[in-house]
Amino acid sequence: MSFSSKLLLSALSLSCLVAGCGADPVPASVCAPGVSVACVGAGACAGGQVCNATGSGYGVCDCGLPGDAGPADAGPADMSLDGAVDDLGAPDAGPAACLASPDYGVVTLVNPQADTTAGGDRIRFFADLSGAAAPDQVYLTLYPGFGVFATHAIVPGVYSIAGDDLNVATCGLCLSLQIAPGDTGPYIATGGTVTITSVTPNLAGTVSDVTFQHVDVDPDTFVSTPAPDACVSALAAMSFDSVVTVLP
């Protein structure tokens, strides 16, 4: 599979990560809803802008300047984001809250599904991490020709998450979390082990000792970089086993 083909499939998978997926493919769009990218705002400030809910474009560039709280903040701008008291004796807003659980522990998956494209360009497994009305989700997507599968087919084995598999643009063994509505961007695995026991007709295996980091994903190259909030998560163990459906 070519790199450009993987970029297209990554775009569809990323749209699933942000908006949630069923068995149907997600149409391409200008950007992936909810994904934030770096931008330059008023006064050449460094900020971020978020793709809108329809994927048709990005919102305004928000530099999020601290201490800009309106007339009540008459002193010098408070450049502290650690929750400390500012120069006027009022607490600042503190860092952005991390919406992912810091540790999901041992997970029993809900609503597991697996699918592949007609051409076999990728195999994907996804499931809910709980039975909540708006659950966090886990995605495992396998790309032949990339990451740990760069030199051989997708076959059963024990695979460590490392190297090219740590980035959305280059991973062949792509493990990620999507947090329930309210967060932006996926959490990408930064370490751990995936054991694949079957590829067809079921995609089956286990995941153990996985750590994750919240990332921003470039909408053009799909290169992922750590998000400014520095949010992380972990998953101790889960098992997966689902019949692989071929998408039309």
Report the percentage of the chain scoring pLDDT > 70: 67
> Is 119 among the domain residues?
yes
Residue 85's pLDDT is what?
A: 41
Q: Count up the domains in the chain and report the number.
A: 1
Specify the range with the lowest mean pLDDT, choosing from 34-43, 72-81, 102-111, 184-193.
72-81
> Is 220 among the domain residues?
yes
Residue 145's pLDDT is what?
A: 96
Region 210-217: what's the mean pLDDT? Answer: 97
> Is 186 among the domain residues?
yes
Q: What is the mean pLDDT of the chain?
A: 80
Residue 53's pLDDT is what?
A: 64
d(CA 179, CA 185): 8
Write the burial class of residue 212 (CB in 10 Å: 0-12 exposed, 13-18 middle, 19+ buried). Answer: buried
113-170 tens-digit pLDDT: 999 999 999 999 999 999 999 999 999 999 999 999 999 999 999 999 999 999 999 9
Residue 79's pLDDT is what?
A: 33
- Confidence label for 75 from pLDDT (cuts 50, 70 and 90): very low
d(CA 30, CA 33): 9
> Is 132 among the domain residues?
yes
Region 69-77: what's the mean pLDDT? Answer: 40
State yes or no: pLDDT of 173 exceeds 50: yes
174-209 tens-digit pLDDT: 999 999 876 678 999 999 999 999 999 999 999 999
Q: Concatenate the DSSP letters of all residues of 180-205 into one string.
A: SBTB-SPEEEEEEEEEEEE-SSEEEE
Specify the range with the lowest mean pLDDT, choosing from 19-23, 76-80, 138-142, 165-169.
76-80
Residue 78's pLDDT is what?
A: 36
**Which domain covers residue 218, as residue numbers?**
99-246
Residue 2's pLDDT is what?
A: 53
Distant-in-sequence, close-in-space partners of 151: CB < 8 Å, separation ≥ 6? none
3-class SS at 213?
A: strand
Question: Quick one: CA torsion of 69, 71, 74, 79, rounded to 10 degrees?
Answer: 10
Helix%, strand%, coil% for the chain, nearest 5: 10, 40, 50
CA distances from 26 to 22, 54, 67, 137, 176 (A): 9, 12, 40, 17, 18
Tell me the torsion sign for CA atoms 107, 108, 110, 113. Answer: positive
Neighbours of 139 (CB within 10 A): 19
Count how many residues are written for the chain.
Answer: 248
